[in-house]
Amino acid sequence: AKTIGLMGAMDEEIALLLERVENQETAVIAGIRFVKGSLHGKDVVVCKSGVGKVNAALAAQLLIDRFEAGAIWFTGVAGAVHPDLDVGDIVISSSCQQHDMDASPLGYPRGTVPYQEVSDFPADPVFIALAEEACTRLCRDHKYIVGRVLSGDQFIADRGFVSSVLYGEMEGACVEMEGAALAQVCGMNRVPFVVLRSISDKADGSADVNFAEFTKLAAQRSFEILNDMVQHL
């Protein structure tokens, strides 16, 4: 069976995973700590990429090259874009796209990488189904949606930008800072992936306050689903 790379951007997002991985072996490459081991009898490598697209891209390529990850699953928190989403709800990536890639003066729609065939990278349908099944088992008082994850090197706290651009123009479900980077790296390497995000804030004027308050809880929710997915793989 292939090794699964399990990725988060922040300590809160991977802390619970690290508590459960057995037979841990640690390596540090390019300043990123990778922990190899097994989770529910499956080979996994857990890493904290750090925040933002460059960190996520680097960590994803290292997972593939140095740890022979045959799949990458991301767990973490995000700001809500779809108007139906509340704090604690879950987004399973149907695809991931950069919202801050903008060559519109050249005639490209926002999010389109010039001279590149794909800009909206589709997640693996088997992993999406696995995540949906985990959500049906675990999401009692919260909803989940399968939708587009938008990523950029910006913490979004502007509902006007969310409704006009991220939702209105780009049809996103949630916004965060890593998904599209690892999605592109996975796409280019033909490695299947899925991004799982629990909503920590509404990406509006209260995003900073909500983020601080709800990140731990949201990260835990995302972890629980990912953990269930590993169990049922």
Residues that bind ligand ADE (CB under 6 A): 77-79, 155-156, 175-177, 200-201, 203, 207, 211
Which of 142, 155, 14 is closest to 90 using CA atoms?
Answer: 142
Taking every pair of C-alpha atoms in the chain, what is the biggest distance, in angstroms?
A: 52
Q: Which of residues 178 and 224 has its CB atom nearest to ligand ADE in the complex?
A: 178
Which of 51, 83, 97 is closest to 211 using CA atoms?
Answer: 51
Minimal distance in Å, beta carbon 20 to ligand ADE? 24
Secondary structure of residue 233 in the 3-state scheme: coil
**Active site annotation includes 100:** no
Secondary structure of residue 80 in the 3-state scheme: strand
DSSP letter assigned to residue 156? -
Which of the following is catalytic: 12, 13, 120, 132? 13
Minimal distance in Å, beta carbon 30 to ligand ADE? 23
Q: Which of residues 43 and 204 has its CB atom nearest to ligand ADE in the complex?
A: 204
**Active site annotation includes 13:** yes
Minimal distance in Å, beta carbon 61 to ligand ADE? 22
- Between β-strands 90-98 and 144-151, what pairing exists: parallel, antiparallel or unpaired? parallel
Q: Which of residues 73 and 211 has its CB atom nearest to ligand ADE in the complex?
A: 211
Secondary structure of residue 76 in the 3-state scheme: strand
Q: Which of residues 17 and 180 has its CB atom nearest to ligand ADE in the complex?
A: 180
Q: Which of residues 22 and 208 has its CB atom nearest to ligand ADE in the complex?
A: 208
Secondary structure of residue 162 in the 3-state scheme: helix
DSSP letter assigned to residue 50? -
Residue nearest to ligand ADE (CB): 79
Which of the following is catalytic: 124, 176, 178, 201? 201
Could you give the CA distance from residue 8 to residue 76 in angstroms, rounded to a whole number? 6
Phi, psi for residue 30 in degrees, rounded to 5: 50, 35
- Note whether 182 and 57 are within 8 A (CB): yes
Minimal distance in Å, beta carbon 148 to ligand ADE? 15
Minimal distance in Å, beta carbon 219 to ligand ADE? 10
* Residues taking part in catalysis: 13, 201
